[in-house]
Chain A
């Protein structure tokens, strides 16, 4: 259905001559940007490749971006607070919330319609609070939009400062008591449920609220003074886990077990592979959409694949059908799916129709019109440590298993494709780490797709804000993205370090989704 809406928007954009429909589209900024860069067709159009003329008008010459920014200057904030409170209901609401100060001689039975001309004002405290919200928004969202490492944000600087973090410690201690002790707190934090932020620590009468304002201003805590009763909460569910990691050693008894630490460092993640494998599928689909397509060793190329994030049940190597071959035939046609279960060697699967197989080189034989390709991908992202290497026996074992299982699936699928149809397997080994001497040869010999994946390339394909060079090892933030996020070239160079990029992948797909829908929409 989403595709049909996109098609409708496309038709609206492509009407020729006199326009009968004018559209304004808005939504999450990150998603809107992703629409331009993550959709292969659009990204190609944005680069103005002439062979995609049909889509070429979907670039920014037609889609005029209208950028709205939060109010941050004190004078703007004050004026907006008074102006927007025009009208009796708004005046009442604003005064009840402590955002508006009535002028002398204000008659509640005969309120003036215009707050500004009637002399209403906004208290300095209320203005500071709104400013803090706005500045927090400005400070946070670029991080969210670009996937910057969350560990560099002010919360962590404040958390690490043993001289200063007493207020955060107080919040953490109150929260830990409320959940029933450290053990329960670890379980709660590892779950990273949004309800973690439902806990509110009420302030005492003698507390200085301005201190909490300042912390909110920095994006360290969430301060809620609704109905003039101040309370403090975590800004993000992961903050609770970070507090445990920081304070446990310092203030509590004992240390966390390794399992507890991992569950707090990577809350909600079953494994890094769950993310990396999906990125590889996106990368392969991306390549297939680029001019030339995804090149095979035999000189052919695969074009026009798309990637799906949901799991697909596949047939088992033992000949028993786990997932229905008919279902696989329907779902995986020209579409890369994440496989489930992954015990048969493959992480991703697609059935490529003959019309999506072309000649990558002139010397290649013409494609057989009855030959389908079963594309399987195996992802090996062994560790973040760059020195970790995959050895040759392991590479051979994985690829042998993959090939054997692919042959079984091909046998099951061929009869379903009609008389004379054939299915041939093609394999990809995508790896983040290097292969030990000897292993390279093994993987090259057994992989039937020419370009074995490179981690940087995967990230670039997955991250809508990044561009890549021809070598796929150099990446940078697009100038457009920098404009949006207020970054600069120096930042971009720093951020393109591979160790950062690995975190980009994690944060873009996990934190982004969580944060985008988080605090600032409430």
Chain B
């Protein structure tokens, strides 16, 4: 399992980055789930695996997300573990191309300063490091970037991967159709969303 983390090194997400994308460079997040186990159990198993292997694990403190980036690692307390339990199985399904139903949107709430953005930064590094090359992690921070188009960011990521995404004029749904046909998946992180309203 741990070998899944030992893929090629990923580009670092700088602290001040307004937009960042990184295609997965690992063996896939499905490596962290056990297909023999019942789905409901798999969620818990996946989450447990994330706690053990996507954190520092055997290397040291078991309650840290290792970022391997410019930012400090994230301490995983009960609240963050709960967030991982919600996210991890769905990320596995997204990476495997089988995410369905009402499971693809999350709102991360928390008081200002508790580390929501930091948690997400750590998470995106782990996901980018372990996910399949067909999955792209995109981070958009409206505070630094101003108001930008999320779909334009996805198109830019696709172009970087040598794809030719549909144009703006084709409508918003066209991008979804294209991603589905090309068997590409996107994990989109939107931070500082209040900047849209100030």
Q: Which residues of A contact B (CB under 8 A)?
A: 1-2, 4-9, 11-13, 15, 17-35, 57, 61-71, 76, 79-80, 82-87, 90, 113-114, 116-117, 137-138, 141, 145, 484, 513, 516, 520-521
Chain B, residue nearest A114 (CB): B60
- Contact, CB under 8 Å: B107 / A137: no
Q: CB-defined interface of B111-129 with A at 8 Å, one 1/0 digit per residue?
A: 1111111011000000000
Given contacts A12-B188, A83-B75, A520-B112, contact A19 B60 (CB under 8 A): no
Contacts of A520 in B (CB 8 A): 111-113
B111 CB to nearest A CB, Å: 4
In the assembled complex, the Cα of A520 lies from the Cα of B115 at a distance in Å of 11
Contacts of A9 in B (CB 8 A): 150, 190
B149 CB to nearest A CB, Å: 7
Total chain B interface residues with beta-carbon distance under 8 A: 70
B37 part of interface (Cβ distance < 8 Å): no
- Contact, CB under 8 Å: B172 / A7: yes
In the assembled complex, the Cα of A158 lies from the Cα of B112 at a distance in Å of 25
Considering the complex, which residues of chain B in the window 71-105 have a beta carbon less than 8 Å from any beta carbon of chain A? 72-75, 77, 79-80, 82-83, 86-87, 90-91, 94, 97-105
Contacts of B79 in A (CB 8 A): 67-69
Contacts of A513 in B (CB 8 A): 198
Contacts of A86 in B (CB 8 A): 56, 60-61, 64, 73
B36 part of interface (Cβ distance < 8 Å): no
Contacts of B162 in A (CB 8 A): none
Q: Is the interface of B mostly helix, strand, loop or mixed?
A: mixed
Q: Which of A6, A8, A68, A83 contacts B73 (CB 8 A)?
A: A83
B163 part of interface (Cβ distance < 8 Å): no
- Contact, CB under 8 Å: B179 / A29: no
A-B contact pairs, 18 of them (CB 8 A): A11-B172, A15-B176, A23-B189, A27-B194, A28-B112, A32-B194, A57-B102, A64-B86, A66-B82, A66-B106, A67-B109, A83-B73, A84-B72, A86-B56, A86-B60, A87-B73, A141-B111, A141-B112
Q: Which of B94, B111, B173 contacts A69 (CB 8 A)?
A: B111
Contacts of A1 in B (CB 8 A): 147
In the assembled complex, the Cα of A245 lies from the Cα of B144 at a distance in Å of 39
Q: Which of B99, B115, B149 contacts A68 (CB 8 A)?
A: B115
- Contact, CB under 8 Å: B86 / A19: no
* Known pairs A20-B186, A68-B116 / 4 extra A-B pairs, C-beta < 8 Å: A22-B185, A22-B186, A27-B192, A32-B109
In the assembled complex, the Cα of A66 lies from the Cα of B120 at a distance in Å of 12
Contacts of B147 in A (CB 8 A): 1-2, 5
- Contact, CB under 8 Å: B109 / A484: yes
Q: Which of A61, A64, A83, A137 contacts B113 (CB 8 A)?
A: A137
Chain A, residue nearest B177 (CB): A20
B175 CB to nearest A CB, Å: 8
B193 part of interface (Cβ distance < 8 Å): yes
Contacts of A71 in B (CB 8 A): 75, 77
- Contact, CB under 8 Å: A11 / B176: yes
Given contacts A86-B60, A137-B111, contact A80 B75 (CB under 8 A): yes
Given contacts A68-B83, A86-B73, contact A23 B99 (CB under 8 A): no
- Contact, CB under 8 Å: B60 / A66: no
In the assembled complex, the Cα of A83 lies from the Cα of B101 at a distance in Å of 37
Contacts of A66 in B (CB 8 A): 82-83, 86-87, 106-109
